[in-house]
Amino acid sequence: MTALSRTQPTPHDATTGAPFIAADVGGTHVRLGLVRGNGGRVEVLEYDKFACADYPGLAEVIETFLARLPSQPAIRTGVIACAGHALPDGTLLTVNLPWPVSLARIKSRLGLDDFRLVNDFEAVAHAMGQVGAQALVRLSGPTTAPEGPVLVVGPGTGLGAAVRIPTPHGAVVLATEAGQSALTVGNDLEMAVLREFLKERSHVPIEHALSGPGLVRLHHALAAVRGVPASHETPGAISAAAASGDDALARETLDLFCGLLGSAIGDMALLYGAHGGIHLAGGVLPQIREFLLQSDFVARFLDKGPMREALEGIPVTLVEHGQLGVLGAAGWYLGLDED
């Protein structure tokens, strides 16, 4: 789940340079930065990463982060990037976090004057203007692209996607619910796996397979299809076993994952008209980078019949930047994409 209604921030920190909190809140980790605006860019003063399971709530994570700072600046504002839906009372409705999030409670507990919320992949899309070429690994397409909509998409605890659309007045970023679209398959094995999923639910969204938890679901469904026991229970264990080369089922699971991902992102490229480029982000792909580069991802991405030629002209890159969500949330808060 990724859609949030955007509330236009008031970028007062962009002019004052006052430090503020920027957080990237996922289902497994919270990445926190103390940041400020500096010459039209985001400057990260302090940064840390926390495991969600170690804390009873987001407020406690932020309190721990602030207590660890070498100095104690007066922090009055903040922003979080997170998947979910903001209810009128400021509570965040999400399927992937281990605890509820209440903006009002956090604001009151931390004594903040202003605390905002932005969709997680909307934030990542805003961050792309802050990322240098050295953080990009090209998977397909030319090294440059024409001006146009850019798709930012990737698997993490769920599957997020946003579209960054350039305009004469600055970029407009649209959050999407692409991860909730129905999973489509392209061969007999994928159909058999989908039938396993359909035994448990009538709607199988893309993120049910293409996410960290989805990788585990794929592993179990594939084991059922092959009539063998599933031997791994975490994405990391599956990835490590596949990389070792002596676990055929784990390797086939990653093959399946990369093929489905390529096909799904090819569909999204056509749906959103993303001829300006596609950036793959999220927490899963950097962990399987070498496998992804050797997989059928690109072949499946391009396998769209007569639209193959159009897709060949779209640069597809893997983004390797652990602070993307923090940078993007801060950039959104500061209004850096706007005139």
* Domain residue spans of the chain: 12-127+323-334, 132-320
Q: What is the pTM of this model?
A: 0.85
Q: Which CATH architecture has domain 132-320?
A: 3-Layer(aba) Sandwich (3.40)
Tokens of 145: 């692209």
CA dihedral 245, 249, 255, 257 (to 10 degrees): -130
Q: How confident is the model at residue 135 (pLDDT cuts 50, 70, 90)?
A: low
Quote the CA–CA distance of 191 and 197 in Å, as a whole number.
10
Task: Identify the pLDDT of residue 9.
Answer: 47
Taking only the tens place, the pLDDT of each residue in 303-327 is 999 999 999 999 999 987 678 889 9
Q: Which residue has the higher pLDDT, 111 or 198?
A: 198
**Strand pairing class (114-119; 278-280):** unpaired
Task: Identify the pLDDT of residue 159.
Answer: 92
Q: What is the mean pLDDT of residues 11-30?
A: 77
Task: Identify the pLDDT of residue 95.
Answer: 64
Domain 12-127+323-334 belongs to what topology? Nucleotidyltransferase; domain 5 (3.30.420)
Task: Identify the pLDDT of residue 291.
Answer: 94
110 contacts 63 by C-beta, under 8 angstroms:
yes
Q: Which residue has the higher pLDDT, 51 or 320?
A: 51
What's the 3-state SS for the chain? CCCCCCCCCCCHHHHHCCCEEEEEECCCEEEEEEEEEECCEEEEEEEEEEEHHHCCCHHHHHHHHHHHCCCCCCCCEEEEEECCEECCCCEEECCCCCCCEEHHHHHHHHCCCEEEEEEHHHHHHHHHHHCCHHHEEEEECCCCCCCCCEEEEEECCCEEEEEEECCCCECEEEECCHHHCECCCCCHHHHHHHHHHHCCCCCCEHHHHCCHHHHHHHHHHHHHHHCCCCCCCCHHHHHHHHHHCCCHHHHHHHHHHHHHHHHHHHHHHHHHCCCCCEEECCCCHHHHHHHHHHCCHHHHHHCCHHHHHHHHCCCEEEECCCCHHHHHHHHHHHCCCEC
Q: Which of 56-60, 114-118, 310-314 has the highest mean pLDDT?
A: 310-314
Could you tell me the sign of the dihedral formed by the alpha carbons of 315, 318, 320, 321, in that order?
A: positive
